[in-house]
Structure 1
Amino acid sequence: MYQYDQYDQTLVDERVAQFRDQTRRFLAGELTEDQFRPLRLMNGLYIQRHAPMLRVAIPYGLLSSRQLRKLAHIARAYDKSYAHITTRQNIQYNWPKLEQVPDILAELAQVEMHAIQTSGSCIRSVTSDHLAGISPDEIVDPRPYCEIIRQWSSLHPEFAFLPRKFKIAVSGSQKDRAATQLHDIGVHVLRAADGEVAFEILVGGGLGRTPIIGQVIRPHLEKQHLLSYLEAILRVYNRYGRRDNKYKARIKILVKEEGMDSFRRQVEEEWLRIRDGLVLEQKEIDRVSAFFAPPPYAGDAGADLSALTQKNADFSRWLRHNTVAHKAPGYRGVYVSLKSPDAPPGDITDRQLDAVADLADRYSFGQVRSSHTQNLLLADVQERDLFDLWQRLATLKLASPNVGMATDMICCPGLDFCSLANAASLSVSKDIYDRFDNLDYLYDVGELRINISGCMNGCAHQTVGHIGILGVDKHGEEWYQITLGGSSSNEAALGERLGPSVPKSEVADAVMTIVKTYVEQRQDEETFLQAVQRLGIAPFKEQVYANR
C-alpha cells in the first residue's frame, strides 16, 4: 500500500497544527461559529445531534494493521469504544469532544492518516472496488490510479470551495463494485486493443434528493490525460455550478440542465487548453504502481476443505457466503461481517478493531479493506487457514454468514445520531434483521440488498437498493417510503417508489410481504432484482397495501 513521503507527512502534520490553533481560537471566542464551520468541515468534523462527529479518510478503503490499531486506540481514548464504517469506505467517530479533535488528528498523523476532505465542498476521498488487485474479473488494478487522483486532488487550491461536495469512484473490473455510475465522476480503467491502459469517464451521477445515473462523457481517454481531463471537468463545474441553491449545486444538475452534448463540448474546450500542461507520465504511474505490487503469495496455500465443510455446517455456510474467489491459486478473500444481530450495521468495537488487526497480520499480509457495503475484508487468506480464521472471527461476532443477503443491510446512523435525519434507521434495520432468524429461509431468498436511510441525503444509498427504505417526517412522526428495483452495479438503476409511506411499526412487515411475494412468483434461479425487473412493482404493491 502507499507510504507517505516527506511531503505527505509534512502536509498532514502542518494541517494538524493549523486546526489545533483554529480550534483554540474558536473555544476562546476569537472565532464565531460561522467562521469556524468551514474550517472544521475541511477537517472532517461535523456537529451532530448529540456530539461532534469526526469522519476519517480511508482512501480507496485500504488500511494497514498499524492503522487499524490506531483507530481502535482512538475509539477507546476519545470515543465510546466503537467506530462506524461508512458507504464511502471511511470511518466515523460519533462521540469525540471538540477540544480533543486536534489530538485525534495528531494521533492519526502518526500512522499516515487524516480527516482532510472527508467533508465540505471539495473533492472527497476517492473510493474504489474493495476487491481491487485480487478479483479474477479484474481488467486493471485501479488502486494506483486512485492514489494518483488522491494526490492530485488533496488540497487542490482551485477546488477547495466548489459549489458542492464532489465524489470520484474508480473501478477496474468487469463487475462494478464501486458504484461508479452514482458518482460525480466515475472512472472505468480499461485495457485498449493494443494492451495499453485507458479510461472510460462518466459524469453527472449522484444520489440524495435528486438521484441521477451518470453518463459517459468520454468513452476512451488515453492514460496520460487522466488528470487533465478530470481537471477540465472540475473547472467547468466550478465555473458554472449553481451556488445560489445547495439543492441544485451538484454537477448532476449542471449536466442535466446543460445537456450532455453542451457540457461535453465545454469540457473538451477546457481540456484542449490545459492538457499539455498536466500530463500523467508513465514514470509516475510506475512509481505509484510499485506500492501496489502483489504480496509474496505462497505456492502451496491451497487446501481441500470438503471434509471440514461436511462435518461443520456453520463453517460451510460461512465459506460459501463470506469468502470470494482470488486471482492467486490457493487464496480467498474473506469478508469480516459487520452485520451481526446485536450490533448496528457497520459498527465495530475497539476490541474487534484490535483483533482484526491481529488477524490481518497473521493471515493477510497485515492489510485490511473497507467496503461501501459497510463490511471489512481480509483480501489475501490462504485456503488452509480459512477454518482457523473462521473460528476466530466467530468468537468476535464477526462471522455472520450473510454477505450479500437480506441481513447484510446498508444503513446510515439516522435519527439516533445525525442532525439531518428525519427518522430512525438503526432500529428499523434491527426489526428487519430479526425477521430473518431462519438461515435456510435467508439463503432461499438469496441475493438481496436492503438499504435504509434516515433522510433524503441518502448516505445509505437507499435509492439504489433492491429494496430501498427512506425515513420521512410526517407531523413529527416517523414514516418510511419504500422503493424496489434499484441497483448500483453494472446496470445501475433507481428504485421505483412502491406507494404511500408506511409507519415505522409496519416497515418490517412490509419488507417481509415483499420478500414473500418474490418467493411465490420467482422463476427458477431468478434473483429478487430480476423478478422485480420482470414483474414490475404492481404485484408487490398489491400485497403490501392489501389490508390498508
Structure 2
Amino acid sequence: MYDYTEFDAAFVAERNRQFRQQVERRLSGALTEDEFKPLRLMNGLYLQLHAYMLRVAIPYGTLNSRQMRQLAYLALRWDKGYGHFTTRQNIQYNWPKLRDVPDMLDALAEVGMHAIQTSGNTIRNVTADHFAGAAADEIADPRPVAELIRQWSTDHPEFQFLPRKFKIAVTGAAADRAVTRAHDIGLQIVRRDGQTGYRVIVGGGLGRTPMIGKVLNDFVTQDDLLPYLEAVVSVWNLLGRRDNKYKSRIKITVHEHGIDDIRARVEDRFNLIRPTFTGVDLALFEQIKSAFAPPAFRTDSTAVFDTSYRTDPIFRSWADTNLAAHRAPGYAIVQISLKAHGATPGDATAEQMRVMADLAERYGHDELRISHEQNVILPHVHKSDLPTVHAALKKHGLATANIGLISDIIACPGMDYCALATARSIPIAQDIARRFDDLKLEHEIGELKIKISGCINACGHHHVGHIGILGLDRAGVENYQITLGGDHTETASLGDRTGPGFSADEILPAIERIVRTYLDYRDSPDETFLQTYRRIGMEPFKTALYDNAGANAYAAQ
C-alpha cells in the first residue's frame, strides 16, 4: 500500500501546525464559532448535537495494522473507546474535546493519516471497491488511480471553494461495489482493444434530489484521466449554482443543462488544458502502482479449512456468508461484520480494532479495508488460517454471519448524534436486526440490503437500498418513509416510495410485512428480494402495508 513521502508528511505537519494555532485562538475567544467554522471544516471537524466530531480520512478504504492500532489508540485516549466507520470509508470520533483535536491529528500523522478534505466544499475522500487488489472479477486494482486522484485533488488551488462537496468513487470490476453511479464522478476501469482506460460517470448523488449518474465518456485513457477530471470539475465550478445549496451539486447542473451540453463543455475545457499536463503524471502513476504490488501469496494446503468446513456448522455458516472469492488460489476475502444483532451499525471498539489489526498483521498480509457498507475487510487470508481467524473474531463479537443479509444494515448516526437529523436511525436498525434474529429467518430470506437515513441528506444511502427507510419529522413526531427496489450496483436504481410513512412503533411491523410478502411471492429460495420486486412490482407490498386485511393477515402469522 502507499506510504507517505517526505513531502506528504511535511504537508500534513504544516496543516496540523496551522490548525493547532486556530484552535488556540478559538479557545481563547479570539475567534468566534462562526469564524472558526470554515477553518475546522477544512480539517474534518464538525459540531454535532452534543459535541465536536472528527472525521478521519481512510483513502479508498485501505489501512495497515499500524494505522488501525492508532485508530484504536485515538478512541481510547481522546474519545469514549470506540469509532464509527462510515459509508464514505472514513472513521468518525463522536466525542473529542476541542483542545485535544490537534493532538489527535498529530497522532494520525505519525502513521500517515489525516482529516484533510473530509468536509467542506471540496473534493472529498476518494473511495473505491473494498475488494480492491483481491477480487476474482477485477480488471485492475483501482487503488493506484484513487491515490493519484487523492494527490491531484488535495489542496488543489482551484477546487477548495466549490459550489458544494464533490465525491469521486472508483471500481476496478464490472460488478460495482463502490456505488459509482451515486457519486458526482464515478470511474469504472474498462478495457478496449487491449488498452486499459476509464468509463466516466457523472451527476450521480442521493440526498434531497436523488439521481443515478450518466455516462459522460465511455473511454478515457490513463494519459488523459487527470486533465479530463480537471475539465469536469472546472466546468461545474463555473456552472454550479451558488444561490441555492440544495441545487448546487453537479447532478443538478447536469439535469439543468443536459448531459450533451455538459459533455461538449467538458471536451472544450479538456482540449484547452490538456497541453498543460505533462508526462510527470504518468511517471507518478507508475510509481504509485509499484506501492500496490500484490503480496507474496502462499501455496499451502487448504486441508485445515476443508476439515473445519465439513465438521463445524458454525464455521461453515460464517464461511458461506462472510467470505468472498479471491483471485489467488487457496485464498479468501474475509468480510468482518460490524453488525452484531442489536449493535450500532459501523461501530467498533478500540479492543475490536486492535484484534482486527492483529489478525491483519499475522494472517492478512498486513492489509485491511473499510467498506462503504460499514464493515471491515481482510482482503488476503489463506484458507488454512480461516478457522483460527474465525475463532478470534468470535471471541470478540466480530463473527456474526450476516454479510448481505437483513441485519447487515447501513445506518447513519441519525438523531443520536447528528445536528442535521430529523429522526433516529440507530434504534430502528437495532430493532430490525434483533427481530429477524429472533425469528431465525435471515438465512432463509437471503440477500436483502436495508439502508436507513435519519434525514433527507441520505448519508445512510436509503435511496439505493432494496428496502430504504427515511426518517423525517412530522409535527414533532418521527415518521419513517419506506422505499423498495433500490440498488447501488452496476444495475443501479432508485427505490420507489411505498406511500405514507410509519411511526417509530409501526416501522418494524411494516418491514416484517414486506419481508413476508417477499417470501410468499418469490419463485424459489434462489430468487432475491430485488429480483422478486422487479418481477412483481409494488402492488403486493402496498397491499401488505396499507390494506387492513393484508396487514391483519401478516400480524396473525
Task: Indicate the residue corresponding to 1:335 in structure 2.
Answer: 335
Give the Å deviation of 1:304: 5.7
- Aligned equivalent of 1:146: 146
Counterpart position of 1:28: 28
Q: What is aligned with 1:18?
A: 18
Aligned to 2:60, what secondary structure does the other structure show?
A: helix
Partner of 1:358: 358
Alignment of 1:336-485 (within 5 A): 336-438=336-438, 441-485=441-485
User: What displacement does 1:310 show?
Assistant: 3.1
**Aligned twin of 1:529:** 530
In the aligned structure 2, how far is the partner of 1:138 from the partner of 1:38? 40
Deviation at 1:305, TM superposition (A): 3.2
2:199 maps to which residue? 200
The one-letter code sitting in structure 1 at the alignment partner of 2:265 is Q
**Deviations, residues 469-498 of structure 1 (Å, cap 9, x unaligned):** 000001111110000000000010000001
**CA distance, structure 2, for counterparts of residue 217 and residue 310 of structure 1:** 49
Cα distance in 1 for residues equivalent to 2:306 and 2:356: 26
TM-score normalised by L of structure 2: 0.97
Is the 1:345–1:411 contact (alpha carbons within 8 Å) kept by the matching residues of 2?
yes
Structure 2 counterparts to residues 37-436 of structure 1, below 5 A: 37-193=37-193, 195-279=194-278, 281-300=281-300, 302-303=302-303, 305-436=305-436
- The residue that corresponds to 1:492 in the other structure is 492
Asked if the contact 1:228/1:279 (under 8 Å) is kept, the reply is no
Q: How far apart, CA to CA, are the structure 2 residues paired with 1:515 and 1:266?
A: 47
Read off the aligned partner of 1:218 and give its amino acid letter.
Answer: N
Deviations 1:441-478 (A, max 9, x none): 21111100000110000001000000000000011111
**Could you tell me which amino acid in structure 2 is paired with residue 118 of structure 1?**
T
Corresponding residue for residue 544 of structure 1: 545
Tell me the distance in 1 between the aligned counterparts of 2:216 and 2:325: 33
**Secondary structure at 2:141's aligned position in 1?**
coil
Q: Provide the secondary structure at the position in 2 that maps to 1:157.
A: coil
CA drift at 1:285: 2.2
Once residues 76 and 391 of structure 1 are traced to their aligned partners in structure 2, the CA distance between those partners, rounded to angstroms, is 25
Q: In 1, distance between residues paired with 2:222 and 2:386?
A: 39
Provide the C-alpha distance between the structure 1 equivalents of 2:260 and 2:448, rounded to a whole number of angstroms: 36
List per-residue Cα deviations over 1:29-76 (Å, max 9, x = no partner): 111222111110000010000000100000000001000111001000
Pair 1:33–1:62, CA change in 2 (3 A): same
Q: CA deviation at 1:438?
A: 5.0
SS in 1 for 2:291: helix
**In 2, Cα distance between the equivalents of 1:220 and 1:307?**
47
Structure 2 letter corresponding to 1:182 = A
Task: Measure the CA separation in 2 of the matches of 1:342 and 1:82.
Answer: 16
Deviations 1:194-220 (A, max 9, x none): x22111101100000100000011111
> What CA distance in whole angstroms lies between the structure 2 residues aligned with 1:533 and 1:25?
57
Provide, for residues 96-116 of structure 1, a one-character-per-residue CA deviation record: whole Å limited to 9, x for no partner: 001111110011011100000
Match of 1:437, SS?
Answer: helix
- Work out the CA distance in 1 between the residues paired with 2:283 and 2:105: 33
Q: For 1:82 and 1:224, how far apart are their aligned partners in 2?
A: 42
Whether the 8 Å CA contact 2:163–2:249 is kept in 1: the answer is: yes
Aligned to 2:210, the other structure's residue is in SS state: coil
The one-letter code sitting in structure 2 at the alignment partner of 1:505 is D
Equivalent residues of 1:46, 1:54 under 8 A apart: yes
Q: Which has the larger displacement, 338-347 or 399-408?
A: 338-347
Q: What is the letter of the counterpart of residue 95 of structure 2?
A: W
Structure 1 unaligned regions, length at least 5: none
Report the alpha carbon displacement of residue 283 of structure 1 after superposing the two structures with TM.
Answer: 2.5
- Whether the aligned pair in 1 keeps the contact of 2:342 and 2:431 (CA below 8 Å) is no
- Conserved? CA contact 1:465–1:486, under 8 Å: yes
User: SS at 1:483's partner residue?
Assistant: strand
Contact kept, 8 Å, 1:163 with 1:238, in 2: the verdict is: yes
Structure 2 spans left out of the alignment, 5+ residues: 552-557
Distance across 2 between alignment mates of 1:306 and 1:132: 26
1:425 Cα offset (Å):
0.5
Which residue does the alignment assign to 2:555? Answer: none
Amino acid at match of 1:26: R
Please tell me whether the aligned partners of residues 225 and 279 of structure 1 are also in contact (alpha carbons under 8 angstroms): no
Alpha-carbon deviation of 1:306?
Answer: 3.7
Q: Which amino acid aligns with 1:481?
A: Q
**Is residue 300–residue 384 contact of structure 2 (8 Å, CA) maintained in 1?**
no
Is the CA contact 1:303–1:330 (under 8 Å) kept in the aligned structure 2?
no
| Distance in 1, Cα, partners of 2:457 & 2:278 | 36
Give the superposition deviation at 1:328: 0.7
Letter in 1 for 2:320: R
Shift of 1:546: 2.0
SS at match of 1:324: strand
Percent identity, aligned pairs only? 52
Deviation of the 1:307 alpha carbon: 3.0
* Displacement after TM superposition at 1:20 (Å): 0.3
